[in-house]
């Protein structure tokens, strides 16, 4: 073989070996999410996975496991134990594990007091405020995640919750004696305040409960009617009360997985997390009106709360902030609940102003990245 041919062969071998080595070095992370495969949230989870691969130039990949690897109730423990590298963690399901985090999570109904500027932007406001709060204003929150062998990388969630029912609701009297499925403690307290009975069950059990009359209403965001396949069992909807989104630590990472990433790769995960945090509220807000319009076309009755119920709702929200602070102090030893809520309310006001000019999902993700995620010190966070 002459020198020219040998050099050519060597070059080919070098390129081939490099390609094989790169493929071998690529790491795939398992992402557990309790939503069904057809849900809007899983669509955004796929965008998250694509962003990780693009931003890492293929060195990192994410495989999304919708409603298969772990359900909602199993996800926190599964991420802790390494059954998944990343998980969609509903901290409200685990009040004793995440008490400081849940002080802000349970304050979600505060968006109902922000006025007209917040209308139609509640999810965008809340997820920006909660992400900033958790990263930078609540060291106790991050310690809670650390105790569960998890690293927090941002919050997400959809639009404000209303009443998705098989009976009409317009007044407080209509709610008396009703059984309402609730997914968090704040809505449970609200149910009791209006004379209803709160019922706790997995989100995966909602269809059967509503179809069989086990509950009269589910406290839920309207796009979840699609996500959880409730279309055929909903006859009446009132989105005026109680309000507030359901925030989630959407992309928590197993602490050992996080420590095994380079700082550059951690930045990639945060960039992707900013896309995910923005994507869920954005897509929910885009589908909110469409879901309600389609429901109306199918004959579902769209109701509105009367003035007395609206006022009752607002008064409850204010009173409940004091209750949250006192309750978490008594039950979980959270000594600074009032201060945390005050800090969080200020952030809600800040984010109400910040999202006013947001006109696209990309713009929201860029805003989250610029204002929050890019400021996280990956050489310290979660370590």
Q: Determine the Cα angle at 352 with ends 350 and 355, to 5°.
A: 105
The better pLDDT of the pair 287, 253 is held by 253
Q: If you average pLDDT over residues 71-99, what whole number do you get?
A: 95
Q: Is residue 282 part of a domain?
A: yes
pLDDT band at residue 25 under the 50/70/90 scheme: low
Supply the pLDDT for residue 127: 97
Q: Is 89 exposed, middle or buried (0-12, 13-18, 19+ CB in 10 A)?
A: buried
Q: Is residue 290 part of a domain?
A: yes
Tell me: the pLDDT tens digits for 148-198? 999 999 999 999 999 999 999 999 999 999 999 998 889 999 999 999 999
The better pLDDT of the pair 116, 15 is held by 116
Closest Cα partner for 256 from 60, 77, 82?
Answer: 82
Q: Is residue 167 part of a domain?
A: no
CATH of the domain at 38: 3.40.190.170
Q: Is residue 251 part of a domain?
A: yes
Half-sphere exposure of 344 toward its Cβ, with a 13 Å CA cutoff?
A: 28
pLDDT band at residue 3 under the 50/70/90 scheme: very low
Q: Is residue 212 part of a domain?
A: no
Supply the pLDDT for residue 36: 87
The runs of H, that is alpha helices, within 212-262 are: 224-227, 255-259
| 8 A C-beta contact, residue 185 and residue 98 | no
Using CA atoms, how far apart are residues 290 and 223, in angstroms rounded to an integer? 9
3-state SS assignment for residue 196: coil
Using CA atoms, how far apart are residues 236 and 109, in angstroms rounded to an integer? 22
Q: Is the pLDDT of residue 20 over 80?
A: no
Supply the pLDDT for residue 279: 97
3-state SS assignment for residue 89: strand
Q: Is residue 37 part of a domain?
A: yes
182: DSSP letter: E
pLDDT band at residue 355 under the 50/70/90 scheme: very high
Q: Is the pLDDT of residue 218 over 60?
A: yes
The whole-chain average pLDDT of the chain stands at 91
Q: Is residue 10 part of a domain?
A: no
The structure's pTM equals 0.88
Domain span holding position 88? 25-157+246-294+318-375
Q: Is the pLDDT of residue 9 over 50?
A: no
| 8 A C-beta contact, residue 278 and residue 191 | no
- 311 CB neighbour count, 10 Å cutoff: 11
Supply the pLDDT for residue 68: 87
Domain count, the chain: 1
Query: Which of 75-84, 91-100, 146-155, 223-232 is predicted with the least confidence, judged by mean pLDDT?
Result: 223-232
| 8 A C-beta contact, residue 158 and residue 141 | no
Supply the pLDDT for residue 5: 47
Q: Is 26 exposed, middle or buried (0-12, 13-18, 19+ CB in 10 A)?
A: middle
Whole-number Cα distances in Å, 62 to 87, 217, 365: 11, 36, 19
Q: Is residue 145 part of a domain?
A: yes
Pairing of strands 217-220, 179-182: parallel
Supply the pLDDT for residue 15: 42
Tokens 């009173």 appear where? 319
């Amino acid at each position: 073989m002459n020198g020219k041919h040998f050099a050519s062969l060597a070059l080919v071998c070098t390129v081939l070996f490099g390609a094989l080595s790169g493929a071998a070095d690529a790491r795939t992370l398992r992402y557990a999410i309790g939503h069904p495969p057809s849900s809007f949230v899983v669509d955004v989870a796929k965008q998250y996975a694509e962003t990780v691969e693009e931003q890492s130039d293929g060195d990192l990949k994410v495989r999304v496991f919708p409603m298969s690897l772990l359900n909602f109730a199993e996800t926190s423990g599964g991420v802790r134990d390494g059954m998944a590298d990343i998980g969609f963690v509903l901290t409200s399901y685990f009040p004793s594990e995440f008490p400081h985090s849940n002080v802000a999570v349970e304050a979600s109904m505060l968006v109902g007091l922000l006025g007209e500027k917040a209308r139609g932007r509640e999810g965008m406001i809340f997820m920006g405020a909660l992400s900033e709060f958790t990263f930078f204003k609540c060291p106790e929150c991050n310690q809670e995640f650390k105790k569960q062998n998890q690293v927090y990388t941002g919050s997400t969630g959809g639009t404000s919750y209303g009443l998705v029912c098989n009976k009409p609701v317009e007044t407080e009297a209509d709610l008396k004696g009703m059984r309402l499925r609730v997914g968090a403690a704040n809505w449970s307290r609200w149910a009791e305040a209006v004379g209803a009975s709160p019922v706790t069950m997995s989100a995966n059990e909602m269809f059967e409960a509503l179809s069989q009359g086990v509950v009269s209403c589910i406290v839920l965001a309207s796009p979840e009617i699609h996500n959880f396949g409730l279309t055929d069992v909903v006859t009446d909807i009132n989105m005026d009360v109680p309000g507030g989104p359901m925030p989630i630590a959407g992309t928590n990472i197993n602490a050992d997985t996080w420590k095994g990433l380079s700082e550059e790769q951690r930045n990639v995960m945060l960039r992707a997390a900013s896309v995910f945090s923005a994507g869920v509220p954005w897509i929910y807000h885009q589908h909110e009106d469409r879901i309600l319009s389609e429901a109306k076309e199918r004959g579902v009755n769209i109701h509105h709360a009367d003035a007395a119920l609206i006022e009752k709702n607002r008064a409850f929200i204010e009173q409940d902030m004091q209750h949250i602070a006192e309750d978490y102090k008594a039950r979980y030893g959270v000594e600074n609940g009032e201060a945390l809520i005050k800090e969080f309310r200020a952030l809600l006001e800040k984010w109400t102003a910040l999202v006013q000019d947001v006109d696209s999902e990309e713009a929201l993700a860029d805003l989250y990245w610029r204002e929050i995620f890019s400021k996280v010190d990956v050489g310290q966070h979660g370590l």
